[in-house]
Structure 1
Amino acid sequence: MTTLGTASAAPGEIDTGRLAVGETRDGSQFGLPVAVINGANEGKTLYIQAVSDGDELNGLGVIKRVVPQLAPEEISGTILVVGLVNYHAFQVAEHRNPIDDTKMNRAFPGNESGTSSERIAAAVFEAASRADLILDLHQGSTSRMINETRVRCGKRHRMHDECLELAKVFGCGHILDQKGPDGQLARAAPDEGIPTIDPELGGCVGWDEASIQYGVDGVFNVLRYYGFLDGEAEFEPQTRATGFDRYGAPNGGIVTFKKELGEEVSPGETLFEVTDVFGTLKAEVTADRSGIFWRSRRLPQVATGEYVCSVGINIDEY
């Protein structure tokens, strides 16, 4: 019998329930939606979570589509799922937990006696720590961004190669291989010896079906490659970056992009222009280095110094 919160499944069974993580402001207990898919045969354990940031919904779209397709009698091993992590932010469609104004993916491994975010992080980290592999499904918030997978442990970490392999198996097409900030699940879990990746499934308001499909395909590729499901995993070369050049607006005004997401960028090429409201050119911003046009703001209006776009740099094929 495998249990996660109130979900409990014997081999060959699936169950859903709630993982209690605290009380709301009216004193009512609340819990995160969880699922246990306990395969009929023995095998590894995979942990999947989504909505660590409350406005990043593509991961939830992946879980919504994947779980109904999982037949426990066909699975070897166990899949543990937390459908949404940042409960309070999800309820109000905000990025950060409004209870403590915290970005949840900076709170791991958590503290069961700490702030709201730390307590939630501690509860889900306990579940994640039972796994052999971890998928932490994200997106580029509400910015426009390519589909990519992040390896956040750093190249010198003992788990780096295993995390990079998992990223290639997930197969979004692009990988960011760069050490992440403290408190990320993809930083904390490798310290416990668990290969972990942070798929960033595009960037949008609400959710995007194309990016969700990348995530669905990635999950099933992982399930096949690591022996949860029968069948051959599919592989394609991944474009890897190890950092970003970030560009801000030298003037306020209206931005017009000259590059599309995923396009190659050469030094000196124009990335974007800034005009006034009547279309008069105020600034033209060019690339400092070669790379891939990776991410951009969604709204066209900018103030002086405001973030506009990012170019992935130090590109190779993996």
Structure 2
Amino acid sequence: MITVGTASAAPGEMAVGRLEVGESRDGGTVGLPVAVINGAKSGKTLYIQAASDGDELNGVGVVQRLVPQLDPAEISGAILIVGIVNYHAFQVAQHRNPIDDRKMNRAYPGDERGTSSERIADATFKVARGADLILDLHQGSTSQMINEVRVRCGRHHRMHAECLRLAKTFGCGYVLDQKGPDGQLARAGPDASIPTIDPELGGCVGWDEESIRLGVRGVHNVLRGYGFLDGDVDLEPQTRARGFDQYGSPAGGLVRFKRALGDEVSAGDVLFEITDVFGQLKSRVTADHSGIFWRARRLPQVASGEYVCSVGIDIDSY
């Protein structure tokens, strides 16, 4: 029997329930939606979570479509899922937890006596620590971004090769291999000797069906590649970036992009122009280095100094 919160499943069974993480302002219990899929045969354990940022919904879409496709009778091992991590932010469609104004993915490994976010991080990480692999499903917030996977432990970490292998198996096509900030699950997992990746499934308002499709395919790749399901994975080469150049606007006005997501750019290529409301050119911004046009703001209006786009740099294939 495997139990997560109120969900308990014997071998060959699936169960859903709630994982208690505290109380709300009216004194009621706050419980995260969880699922346990206990395979009929023994094997590894995979932990999946979504929506640790409350407005990043593509991971929730992956969970919604993935779970009905999984038959415990066909699975070796177990899959543990927390469908919505940042409960309070999800309820109000915000990025940060409004109870403590924290970004959830800076609170790991958590603190059972800490703030709301730290308590949720503690409760979910206690589940994740029992797994052999961790997938933390994200997206590029509400900006526009390519579908990619992030390896955040740093290239000198003892788990780096295993995290990179997991990213390649997931197979979005693009990988950011750059050490992440303290408090990320994709940092805490490897520190606990668990290969962990952070798939960033596009970027949108609401959710995007193509990014969700790629996310579902990526999870299936992991399930096959690590022996949860029968079948092989064709490990295609991934385009890897080791960092970003980020570009702000030198002037206020309206953005006119000259590159699309995923385009290769060379140093000196025009990335975007800024015009006034009448279409008169105010400024033109070019790339500092060669790379991949990775991320861009969604709204066209900008103030001087405001973020506009990012280019993935130090590119290779692996």
Give the Å deviation of 1:237. 1.0
TM-aligned CA deviation for residue 316 of structure 1: 0.2
CA distance in 2, matches of 1:239, 1:232: 21
Match of 2:77 in 1: 77
Q: Determine the structure 1 residue equivalent to 2:60.
A: 60
1:98 aligned partner, one-letter code: P
Residue equivalent to 2:284: 284
The corresponding residue for 1:32 is 32
* Partner Cα separation in structure 1 for residue 24 and residue 195 of structure 2: 33
Counterparts in 2 of 1:92-241, with a 5 A limit? 92-241=92-241
Letter in 2 for 1:125: F
Separation of aligned partners in 2, 1:278 and 1:307: 22
- Match of 2:22? 22
Cα displacement (A) at 1:80: 0.2
Match of 2:301 in 1: 301
Alpha-carbon distance in 2 for matches of 1:310, 1:158 = 29
Quote the Cα distance in structure 1 between the aligned partners of 2:14 and 2:29: 24
Give runs of ≥4 in structure 1 deviating > 4 Å.
Answer: none
Q: 1:235 offset after TM fit, Å? A: 2.0
CA distance in 1, matches of 2:236, 2:139: 21
Per-residue deviation, 1:110: 0.1
| Cα distance in 2, alignment partners of residues 89 and 24 from structure 1 | 12
Letter in structure 2 aligned against 1:230? D
In 1, the alpha carbon distance for the partners of 2:246 and 2:120 equals 32
Q: Deviations over 1:60-100 (max 9, x none)?
A: 00000110111001000000000010000000000000000
Q: Which amino acid aligns with 2:232?
A: E
Distance in 2, Cα, partners of 1:112 & 1:86: 15
Quote the Cα distance in structure 1 between the aligned partners of 2:63 and 2:166: 18
Q: Residue 121 of structure 1: SS of its match in structure 2? A: helix
Deviation at 1:286? 0.2
One-letter amino acid matched to 2:208: D
**1:178 partner letter:** Q
* CA displacement at 1:139 relative to structure 2: 0.1
* Higher mean C-alpha displacement, 79-88 vs 232-241: 232-241
Instruction: Give the RMSD, CA atoms, in angstroms.
Output: 0.4
C-alpha distance in 2 between matches for 1:182 and 1:310: 21
Partner AA of 1:81 in structure 2: I
Tell me the percent identity. 76
Aligned AA (2:53): D
Pairs aligned (count) = 318
Counterpart Cα distance in 2 of 1:83 and 1:137 = 10
CA distance, structure 2, for counterparts of residue 267 and residue 37 of structure 1:
49
Give the partner amino acid of 2:152.
R
Q: Distance in 2 between matches of 1:279 and 1:230?
A: 57
The Cα of 1:306 is off from its aligned counterpart by: 0.1
Aligned to 2:43: 43
C-alpha distance in 2 between matches for 1:241 and 1:99: 35
Counterpart-to-counterpart distance in 1, 2:308 and 2:93: 23
Q: What displacement does 1:236 show?
A: 1.4
Q: Which residue of 2 aligns with 1:246?
A: 246
- Secondary structure class of the residue paired with 1:44: strand
Letter in 2 for 1:96: R
Mapped to 2, the partners of 1:268 and 1:21 lie a distance apart of 50
Aligned partners of 2:110 and 2:258: how far apart in 1? Answer: 42
CA distance in 2, matches of 1:211, 1:272: 25
Q: Kindly provide the amino acid, as one letter, of the partner of residue 215 in structure 2.
A: G
Q: CA deviation at 1:30?
A: 1.4
Instruction: Kindly provide the amino acid, as one letter, of the partner of residue 182 in structure 1.
Output: D
In 2, the alpha carbon distance for the partners of 1:286 and 1:15 equals 53
CA–CA distance in structure 2, aligned partners of residues 18 and 315 of structure 1: 42
Q: Secondary structure at the match of 1:30?
A: strand
Deviation at 1:234, TM superposition (A): 2.5
Paired residue secondary structure (1:60): helix
Query: Alignment partner of 1:134: what SS?
Result: strand
Spell out, residue by residue over 1:282-310, the C-alpha distance to the aligned partner (whole angstroms, 9 max, x if none).
Answer: 00000000000000000000000000000
Using the TM superposition, give the Cα deviation of residue 137 of structure 1 relative to its aligned residue in structure 2, in angstroms.
Answer: 0.1
User: Helix, strand or coil: the match of 2:127?
Assistant: helix
